[in-house]
A and B are shown apart, each in its own frame.
Chain A
């Protein structure tokens, strides 16, 4: 499986399967941000909350991508934070869109728990947390 650097302070999150994870995050960062950009530029007045939420999710995906791609405690903290926000976001927005469909038209990445994106937005933060936990365990020092 993944090759690990022995006796380093932290296992890098950016190599092995982690690189695949980063690739998926990068794709979502790109698609969510581009989508939000177009929506905000052309039809902001139609559903401002949903479109601002799209933009927010794009930023969260960008931060998660950067946090996972870089090495070091600061990057790891960033990745943990971004992925946790992502998980909360997809669960809250997903639930709101299901139980109060009129408040949330199908217009964000997280609507319907990411059903419009093959449920990848729901699975991705779980994989991200698992990967951060697993690479974090191999180190000796700092907390987390």
Chain B
């Protein structure tokens, strides 16, 4: 794991959640702007997962390695699914759906960080 990247992802997923809730308050359905912002956050999540996976393959063992790997998989799959689910919703509530997925990803990043803990790197 790269600590600064994980911290940036915590900020970004939090920001994405706020953005999603804001568009619900403003009455805007999920649109291309949502897709773009989700794409940016997702790209960084994928980058983090690749780096962490490379380090695990390279021999660094975080606590509960199998759980760690499952969290890595979850960290890259949920946002795209959430975006699809949100854009299929014609009402304003799509943004909040994205917010739910984003908050879940923030928690996943926190869990990844704590599992990585003293593993170094």
Contacts and interface: CB of A to CB of B under 8 A. Distances in A.
Bound pair (A, B): yes
B116 interface: no
Contact of B97 (A2, A20, A31): A20
B67 A19 contact: no
Nearest to A37: B70
B42 to A, nearest CB: 16
Given A23-B82, A23-B101, A38 B89 contact: no
A20 B102 CA distance: 12
A142 to B, nearest CB: 25
A42 B64 CA distance: 10
A17 B74 CA distance: 24
**How large, as a class, is the contact surface on chain B?**
10 to 19
Identify which of A20, A24, A31, A34 gathers the most chain B CB atoms within 10 Å of its CB. Answer: A20
Interface string A66-90: 0000000000000000000000000
A20 B66 contact: no
A115 interface: no
Interface string A31-52: 1001000100010000000000
B105 to A, nearest CB: 10
B66 A23 contact: no
Given A38-B67, A42-B66, A23 B74 contact: no
**How large, as a class, is the contact surface on chain A?**
10 to 19
B74 A20 contact: no
B97 A23 contact: yes
Interface in B74-105: 74, 78, 82, 85-86, 89-91, 93-94, 96-97, 100-101, 104
Contacts of B89: 15-16, 19
Interface of A: 2-3, 15-17, 19-20, 22-24, 27, 30-31, 34, 38, 42
18 contacts: A2-B93, A3-B91, A15-B89, A15-B91, A16-B89, A16-B91, A16-B93, A17-B96, A19-B91, A19-B93, A19-B97, A20-B93, A23-B82, A23-B97, A23-B100, A30-B74, A38-B66, A42-B66
Given A20-B93, A27-B104, 9 more contacts: A2-B91, A3-B90, A15-B90, A16-B91, A16-B93, A23-B82, A23-B96, A23-B100, A38-B70
Ordered nearest first, which 10 A-B pairs have the shortest CB separation?
A23-B100, A23-B97, A20-B96, A27-B104, A19-B89, A16-B91, A19-B93, A38-B67, A20-B93, A16-B93
